[in-house]
Amino acid sequence: MRETMDAIWVKITKTRGSAPRDAGTVMKVTSTSSQGTIGGGALEFATIGKARKMLAQGRIEQTETIPLGPGLGQCCGGAVTLRYSRERQQLAPPQTTAEFQNLPEHPLSLWVWGAGHVGRAVIGAAPPAAFDITWVDTSHDRFPPQIPAHVRKTPAADMPLLAARAPAQVHHLIFTYSHEIDFSLCAALLERGAASIGLIGSKTKRARFFKRLRHMNHDPSPIICPIGDKSLGKHPDQIAHGALRALLSATQSKALT
């Protein structure tokens, strides 16, 4: 009973247009932690804040519909309806990642931008034999306490500035908590040069980013967006598996040509 009273369960009850997760997705929020994900860095950040305010005020239930637009710094173009309640909900079961086959002879240099749910899923799924990873976010407290040995934690208050100084021929996967940071990273990496650039997002986000980049005289064609494999689903582990599998497949194909 105490667990229920000390937590707010946030459930997506309805979606309209492009949204990061589907209806039925649940996230549990306590005063110090969260479990599960409703997707979308800015959306989730705002939702956790509201849930914790409800906990502090002793409120029981609330429903709201949130446009995923400029107000959140996002460009998905859709909307989600959320129900906040003290009623216990079923979280999605942990996802498993299939083993990767035909690993490269030498680890790929991969920079992962963002330490949210998808970033953590990528770090957890990336085989140490296949990847040498630099993991970047804006501050130390955005990373989990335990970091795998093949991963270098790199806090950077100005991530686009770091991107402009990154090695020119490494692979990048971008999924920060901010669409504007995502955009600035894309621009910096196109200017700097990269082995590949993967960007999480919808077709709407891709179209808007590409239009803005062209206005800046950048060719956005090297950017892969959306990343992952849509057929696998929208769970962070599924996105991570699809993105890593595609990256390994693309690099192996280039090695054979």
pLDDT in tens, 93-114: 655 455 565 667 678 999 999 9
Residue 222, φ and ψ in degrees, nearest 5: -70, -15
What b/e readout covers 131-156, taking b as 16+ CB neighbours within 10 angstroms? bbbbbbbbeeebbeeeeeebbebbbe
- Compute, in degrees rounded to 10, the torsion defined by CA atoms 119, 139, 192, 107: -50
Region 45-59: what's the mean pLDDT? 91
SS3 199: strand
DSSP secondary structure string, 99-120?
PP-S--SSPEEEEEE--SHHHH
Angle at 136 between CA 133 and CA 137, to 5 degrees: 155
The alpha carbon of residue 130 and the mean position of all alpha carbons in its chain are separated, in whole angstroms, by 21
pLDDT in tens, 28-45: 999 988 888 887 677 888
SS3 239: helix
Rounded CA-CA distance 99/90 in Å is: 27
238 forms beta bridges with none
Q: What is the layout of strands, in order, in the sheet containing 8-16? A: 34-36, 26-29, 8-16, 79-85, 61-67
Over 50: is that where the pLDDT of 1 sits? no
In this prediction, residue 249 has a pLDDT band, given cuts at 50, 70 and 90, of confident
Region 110-125: what's the mean pLDDT? 93
- Residue-level pLDDT at 201: 87
pLDDT in tens, 157-185: 999 999 999 998 899 999 998 999 999 99
